[in-house]
Amino acid sequence: MESFDGEMNGGLREVMHKEKKVLNRGFVELVEWMGGDEAVIRNARRCWRSASKGTESDRKLLKHLLLKGHKTPFEAMVFTFDIKCPLFVARQWFRHRMGSFNEESLRYCVAEREYFVPEGLPAKLRDEWREHQEETFTLYEQMISRHSLRREAARAILPIGIYTRFYWTVNGSSLMNFLLLRTSRQAQREIRAYARAILEIVSTVAPWSFSIFQEFVLKGGESGSHEEA
């Protein structure tokens, strides 16, 4: 595992252990990582029993791997993120099975009074939205504190817009697949916001890999339907 004490460059200091705000109450935080561009190049060159041949050659190798879809060497990079997002975003996220998820459980924890509010709502509608959420949380809390209802049962009354938290551990290859799908304009706007935030973070950790990925995979796709980070 990379050491975070000492020789981290300024860019990494900006992203490590710092919450990157997303939506009205959410965030993404990189808590740990292993590997990077050098690890990908090292693993890829094992195929030819070769070593690094300099910056230009190594960048060409990364481009070749991505354009040909040879993504196994990118599994040498592993990231763990702390994620806070609306429940409906998390349920879309968890469909990406090539990763590890550890989510806060409302069987054992009392839900925090935090919920998603869409941008651009007219003032009256926004007030009604908040009022409904607040009333629901009040009833939920009363069910637990006043009526001694089990937390695992009381949670059923909560709306799908509440915020949840989880750790997500994912390798570079699987992360690229996630980003390919979730930065697309066909993806829901809210999960796109998280995908863009993650892409910005990992582009600091492995700048060669993810800059080439953005240029030749996201922007170079036939559909041309991906957003810039």
The answer for residues whose C-beta is within 8 angstroms of residue 202's C-beta and 6 or more apart is 30, 79, 172, 175, 210
Indicate left, alpha or beta for 106 from its phi (over 0: left) and psi (-120 to 50: alpha): alpha
Residues 18 and 91 in one domain: yes
Residues 151 and 181 in one domain: no
Active site residue 49: no
The catalytic residue among 155, 182, 192, 196 is 182
In the predicted model, what is the mean pLDDT of residues 124-144?
98
For residues 56 and 90, membership in a common domain is answered with yes
Band of residue 227 on the pLDDT scale cut at 50, 70, 90: low
Are 146 and 193 members of one domain?
no
Assigned domain for 52 exists: yes
Residue 224 in any domain: the answer is: no
Do residues 51 and 152 both lie within one domain? no
CATH number of the structural domain spanning residue 25: 3.30.1360.170
- Give residue-wise pLDDT tens across range 145-179: 999 999 999 999 999 999 999 999 999 999 999 99
What total of structural domains would you count in the chain? Answer: 2
User: Residue 185: inside a domain, yes or no?
Assistant: yes
Q: How many CB atoms lie within 10 A of CB 119?
A: 9
| Residue 194 is assigned to a structural domain of this protein | yes
Do 168 and 78 share a structural domain?
Answer: yes
23: left (phi over 0), alpha (psi -120 to 50) or beta: left
Residue 198 lies in a domain: yes
The domain containing residue 147 runs over which residues? 123-157
pTM of the model: 0.91
Shared domain for 51 and 88, answered yes or no, is yes
Predicted local confidence at residue 87, as pLDDT:
98
Tokens 């252990």 — which residue?
A: 17
Q: Where is pLDDT greater, at 202 or 13?
A: 202
| Same domain for 127 and 33 | no
Confidence of residue 130 (pLDDT cuts 50, 70, 90): very high
Same domain, 150 and 199: no
Same domain, 152 and 168: no
